[in-house]
Structure formats: structure tokens, C-alpha cells
A and B are shown apart, each in its own frame.
Chain A
Amino acid sequence: QLQLQESGPGLVKPSETLSLTCTVSGGSISSSSYYWGWIRQPPGKGLEWIGSIYYSGSTYYNPSLKSRVTISVDTSKNQFSLKLSSVTAADTAVYYCARLRWELLSWFDPWGQGTLVTVSS
């Protein structure tokens, strides 16, 4: 059964870069032709797609975040990562990683359990 697990610092200072990693288990990130993505949810609010990556490294970002986001993949570690630069309090959220299907236009399933990142000095 495929499982995803987010990891990274739970507290980031304003103006710094948020860095998270998603580790995939129960399957290879590169053996199946899937896309992988990041979604976030501010406390008590709705969901926002951040971006997606193909196992080959091709990326696709939310236009509203594109200038600050970098998503990368490390197939040797079965991981993909998120970097969000110049963070503010508005970036405080639970960050989820998830798998898409074999094409970019896709639903998200399964999801990781999520990790709360707080932006504060």
C-alpha cells in the first residue's frame, strides 16, 4: 500500500525559506509514471494546490505561488521536496504531499498525513 510522509521544520522565520520533504513508501516514485504534488491548508481554512512534479523532474506550479516555489524529486531516495521562499505569516499552514495519476490534470490520492508549518519570529 502506497504511503506518503511529510517531514521538515515545524517553525520557520519570516523572510526565510520553508523546506519540506515527502518520502514515498510501498512503491517506487519512478517505476510508475505518476505525478506527485503539494497542497496546503491554513488553519481553519480551505485547500490550496501548490505545485506538482513528474518523476522525470518536470514541474507545474500554482501561478499565484510560482515566483516563490521550487519542487524537486530525488528518485534515489524515493522522495520529492518543496521549497517556498520569502515566507510570511500567510504561509502558515498544514502542508500535504499527495500522488496524482499518470497525467498532470488529476485528482489527489493518496495523501500524506500532513505537517504543520508555522511562520513566526
Chain B
Amino acid sequence: EIVLTQSPATLSLSPGERATLSCGASQSVSSSYLAWYQQKPGLAPRLLIYDASSRATGIPDRFSGSGSGTDFTLTISRLEPEDFAVYYCQQYGSSPTFGQGTRLEIK
């Protein structure tokens, strides 16, 4: 099983700032099969990024993904108030697993 470790656990930033979230894998994720999701309280996760760097339909271009192998990053270029939420990474290069999440909170 591939274990995904997200850092930091909590990120405190202000609207307008740049957010960088990390996802590290215990072994290489084949074909960069990595996705990112956003989850707000009481709601289901929403797909943001798939295949490490492809934006899902309707996702603003301030969200971008990068990385390969064991190190992946989600970047939000300029935070909007609605971006404060919990973010999860998920690998699907093998039996799917999720990271434990990064909470992005307003500073």
C-alpha cells in the first residue's frame, strides 16, 4: 500500500496570499496518478486536480498541481475566501489511498 503524507497539517494564511501544500508518497506513484480534492464542512470532497497537474472541469486557474514520483504539490496562487477548507491528495497508481489532509485556515 502506498502511504501518502501531507504537510503541513494546518496552514494559516490570509486571503490574497499564495498557498503551497505538499503530498509525499512512500513509493513512486506510477504515471503521476495523483489527484487533489477540496472538502468543506458537511460536504463531499470536490475534485480539483487529476494526473498530478490537470485541472478538473470548472476549477479556477489559481489552482495548479505539480510533481512526479514521490513528491507532489498543490499551489493556490492567490487565496480567495472560499478556498479555506481541507485538502486531500489521493494516489491511484495502485490500490487507491488518500493522504490525511491539510487544513487551510484563515490567519
Contacts and interface: CB of A to CB of B under 8 A. Distances in A.
The answer to whether A and B come from one shared complex is yes
Interface of A: 46-49, 62-63, 96, 105-114
A115 B34 CA distance: 26
Nearest to B97: A49
Interface residues of B, number: 22
Contact of B45 (A47, A48, A105): A47
B56 A47 contact: no
A106 B88 contact: no
B35 A107 contact: yes
B25 to A, nearest CB: 15
Interface in B61-107: 88, 90, 92-101
Interface centre among A107, A109, A113, A114 (most CB of B within 10 A): A107
B92 A48 contact: no
Contact of A47 (B1, B88, B92): B88
A109 B44 contact: no
A96 to B, nearest CB: 6
A46 B88 contact: yes
A109 B56 contact: yes
A49 B96 contact: yes
